[in-house]
Amino acid sequence: MTPNFNNSLVSESPGREIIKSYVSDLTSSPGVYRMLDSDGQVLYVGKAKNLKNRVSNYSRPSGHSARIIRMINSTRSMMFLTTDTEIEALLLEQNLIKQLKPKFNVLLRDDKSFPDILISKSHRFPQVVKSRGRRLPDNTYFGPFASARAVNQTLNYLQKVFQLRNCSDSIFDSRTRPCLQYQIKRCSGPCVGKISDEDYEKSIADAEKFLAGKTSQIKKGLAIEMMQASSDLNFEKAATLRDRIQSLTHIQGAQGINPKIVTDADLVALAVEGNQACIQIFFFRSNQNWGNKAFFPQTGAGAEVGEILQAFIMQFYRNRLPPSTILVSHQMENCSLVSAALEEKYGKLVKIETPSKGEKIKLLYSAMRNASEELARKISSFENHSKLLTSLTEKFKLSKIPERIEVYDNSHLQGSHAVGAMIVAGSEGFIRSQYRKFNIKDPNISPGDDGHMMHHVLTRRFARLTKNNDINFSSNYPDLILVDGGSTQVKSAANVLSTMNIKNVFIIGVAKGVDRNAGKEELYFIDQPSMVLKHNDPILFFIQRLRDEAHRYVIGAHRKKRTAAIQTNKLDDIQGIGSKRKRSLLAHFGSAKGVSSAALEDLKKVEGVSNAIAEVIYNHFNDFDR
């Protein structure tokens, strides 16, 4: 990327003079600086080894890229924080970027955690499951994997070959006979004594070797055991071991090409096209490729490749344990500083290098090719999205191309567990970080009254926006609102906006036709007659996609709420009622409702329930002694 040295823009800018006014009072200490616009919004957060020298560079009239010129021109004030070391400044810079999301910084927009495989060591028979989030010191973790699918596939291998349990400790402790997993040879049945402690411990050790890439060692050990079992005429055990060896051979072939030299490393490959960037990160652990993930960071309107990579690494590993080696596709100026910052944060040596030959460069070339292809697909999708927004604007005669579209939908089951949801789409597609759900608990809303539910959701959304200006709830007003429904929902939305004096927001209701078939949607407006678009109209497909995304999100929220309600048991609130007594009560009365309406004498007849416990249960449901 070539800097734009348009010096006249800086020399005439009041921003340069404002920045210059700070220089004389600054120290030469390391620290972090913030540039703010006329509204007090943070434009940029930067770190400096020497604050005085770094800020004085911005006051120069020449030598700046077009991006930096725009930033200087917009600056109206600055803030400073000094630190003891440059490493502290770098770590503080990333914390502030994460919190403030400045316009001109490189921002990592997708910051979800990656799944691991967890082997829990707190139980006599360790459990092997998928895990996300913080790693606890008493357990063993293998990861990160690029996706839940990659973890599930690996767990499937572990169950087939090593027959390890994946049930929770509470289910394990309550088993009296083998479950289906044992019947289909996916678990060795430790819950009912079908395998000894020693044999299960060996299976765990072999599973750890498998996850560490030592499959050949496992196969040799299993082959020796199989021969010994055959010599002892224990043909059933020999057949089991033979099946394990065959499964491991199949898995080795299915895993594809794995590196020989790269043992524990992340590959970070960057592709840039204009102001768009894609970073592909590949995870290699124990000489195995555990998948890859594409990221599309916001580049601050044209940052250099070194700055993009540095910002990505510092933000990506902000709450993730880095591997011993990070391979990057382009040179970074502050490579040693970033490495030192990661070492200080995590207490381990992290080497960052740009390879030039051998297996490592071949892997990086492959990652860079993937990044370029993914970026091309993203740009193509973005261009199509832009065309659809333009067509939608023309079709409905909007005053401008919508920069923010909010889509609302409700979900309930005959009025119960009602949930409302808002999804957001912008100029580049869906903005998932700004999706919101609303639990609808208003007793004045009749069950199934979709119009009042929509009114309730929109009132809460805009009341919070106008009164609190909550930045986490999004401080932006929409240009276009889509509601799932017909004229009733559109009137509800219009009434909310009118009451709150919110103007210049176009509202469209999307309702399925009389036969409820997709493709025959009818569109409703505030002061225009309804209309039906042609079944092959791209604008119809676009509106359907927005509506379906809102529907998907709200259905998911509704199911979670319904599942949580189903799993909540009235007996859980009674002190002294454990899992064994709860099973006895439910088996005797059939349901928690049956227990709640039972007479005291009937409660005393339940196996394992003493007279004292029976009185506690009876009093709990009959408002005595509470």
Residue pLDDT, tens place only, 578-604: 777 877 887 777 777 778 888 888 888
Residues 132 and 236 in one domain: yes
* Cα distances (Å, whole numbers) of residue 211 to 205, 248, 449: 10, 12, 53
Report the number of distinct structural domains present in the chain.
5
Q: Which of 254, 287, 304 is the last residue of a domain?
A: 254
Q: Which of 154, 177, 181, 176 is nearest to 166 (CA)?
A: 181
User: Which run of H or E residues covers position 272?
Assistant: strand 264-273
Q: Which residues contact 523 (CB under 8 A, 6 or more apart)?
A: 508, 509, 510, 511, 530, 531, 532, 533, 543
Q: Which token pair is 585? A: 């009560």
Residues 420 and 556 in one domain: yes
Residues 244-264, mean pLDDT to the nearest whole number: 61
Residues 149-160, mean pLDDT to the nearest whole number: 80
Q: Which residues contact 546 (CB under 8 A, 6 or more apart)?
A: 405, 407, 423, 425, 482
CA distance 23 to 26: 5
Residues 546-554, mean pLDDT to the nearest whole number: 91
CATH code assigned at 597: 1.10.150.20
pLDDT for 31: 92
pLDDT for 415: 63
Containing structural domain, residue 594: 570-621
Residues 39 and 187 in one domain: no
- If you write DSSP's letter for every residue of 372-439 in order, what string do you get? HHHHHHHHHHHHHHHHHHHHHHHHTT-SS--SEEEEEEEEEETTEEEEEEEEEEETTEE-GGG-EEEE
* Cα distances (Å, whole numbers) of residue 416 to 345, 401, 441, 559, 600: 48, 38, 10, 11, 32
- Whether 394 is in a domain gets the answer no
- Whether 323 is in a domain gets the answer yes
Residue pLDDT, tens place only, 168-210: 888 888 888 888 888 888 899 999 999 999 989 988 888 887 7
Residue pLDDT, tens place only, 337-393: 999 999 998 888 999 999 988 888 988 998 899 899 888 888 888 788 889 999 999
Residues 152 and 202 in one domain: yes
Residue pLDDT, tens place only, 319-335: 888 989 999 999 988 89
- Whether 168 is in a domain gets the answer yes
Q: Which of 231, 254, 277 is the last residue of a domain?
A: 254
Of 151-155, 536-540, 577-581, 621-625, which has the strongest mean pLDDT? 536-540
Residue pLDDT, tens place only, 2-34: 344 444 445 556 888 899 999 988 989 999 999
Q: Which residues contact 481 (CB under 8 A, 6 or more apart)?
A: 405, 406, 407, 408, 493, 505, 506, 507, 508
- Residue length, the chain? 626
Residue pLDDT, tens place only, 471-484: 444 457 899 999 98
Q: Which of 565, 589, 605 is the last residue of a domain?
A: 565
Mean of pLDDT over the chain: 83
Is the CA virtual torsion 80, 81, 85, 86 positive or negative? Answer: negative
* Cα distances (Å, whole numbers) of residue 45 to 54, 55, 331: 12, 12, 22
Q: Please state the pTM of the whole predicted model.
A: 0.64
Residues 506-535, mean pLDDT to the nearest whole number: 81
Q: Which token pair is 55? A: 């800020």
Sheet of 77-82: strands edge to edge?
Answer: 42-48, 31-36, 77-82
CATH code assigned at 30: 3.40.1440.10
- Whether 2 is in a domain gets the answer no
Residue pLDDT, tens place only, 117-129: 888 888 889 988 8
User: Is the model's pLDDT at 1 over the cut of 60?
Assistant: no
pLDDT band at 216 (very low <50, low <70, confident <90, very high): low
- Whether 390 is in a domain gets the answer no
pLDDT for 475: 52
pLDDT band at 568 (very low <50, low <70, confident <90, very high): low
8 Å CB contact between 201 and 154: no
Residues 53-64, mean pLDDT to the nearest whole number: 89
Residues 363 and 409 in one domain: no
pLDDT for 326: 94
pLDDT for 394: 92
Q: Which residues contact 270 (CB under 8 A, 6 or more apart)?
A: 277, 278, 279, 305, 308, 309, 312, 328, 329, 330, 368, 371
Sheet of 276-285: strands edge to edge?
Answer: 288-295, 276-285, 264-273, 325-328, 351-353
User: Is the model's pLDDT at 503 over the cut of 70?
Assistant: yes
Whose structure tokens read 């999205």? 385
- Whether 307 is in a domain gets the answer yes
Helix, strand, coil percentages (3-state) for the chain, rounded to 5, are 45, 15, 35
Residues 163 and 21 in one domain: no
8 Å CB contact between 145 and 116: yes
- Whether 109 is in a domain gets the answer no
Residue 92 class from Cβ within 10 Å (0-12 exposed, 13-18 middle, 19+ buried)?
Answer: middle
Residues 410 and 480 in one domain: yes
* Long-range Cβ contacts of 180-184 (<8 Å, 24+ apart): none
Q: In 10 A of CB 67, how many CB atoms?
A: 21
More confident residue, 273 or 563: 273
Query: Which three-class secondary structure state does DSSP give residue 608?
Result: coil
Residue type, 421: A
Residues 233 and 273 in one domain: no
Percent of the chain with pLDDT over 70: 88
Residue pLDDT, tens place only, 93-120: 988 988 888 989 988 876 667 888 888 8
Residues 574 and 561 in one domain: no
More confident residue, 515 or 426: 426
Residue pLDDT, tens place only, 270-305: 998 878 889 999 888 877 778 888 898 888 767 889
Residue pLDDT, tens place only, 228-240: 777 778 777 777 7
pLDDT for 47: 92
8 Å CB contact between 259 and 287: yes
Is the CA virtual torsion 369, 374, 378, 380 positive or negative? Answer: positive
573, HSE (Cβ side, Cα atoms, 13 Å)? 11
> Could you give phi then psi for residue 504, rounded to 5 degrees?
60, 35
Residue pLDDT, tens place only, 405-448: 999 998 877 667 788 899 999 888 888 888 999 888 777 787 77
User: Is the model's pLDDT at 259 over the cut of 90?
Assistant: no
Residues 336 and 412 in one domain: no
pLDDT for 235: 77
CATH code assigned at 537: 3.30.420.340
Q: Which residues pair with 523 in a beta bridge?
A: 510, 531
pLDDT for 513: 63
- Whether 399 is in a domain gets the answer no
Residues 121 and 169 in one domain: yes
Whose structure tokens read 């040693």? 336
Residues 137 and 237 in one domain: yes
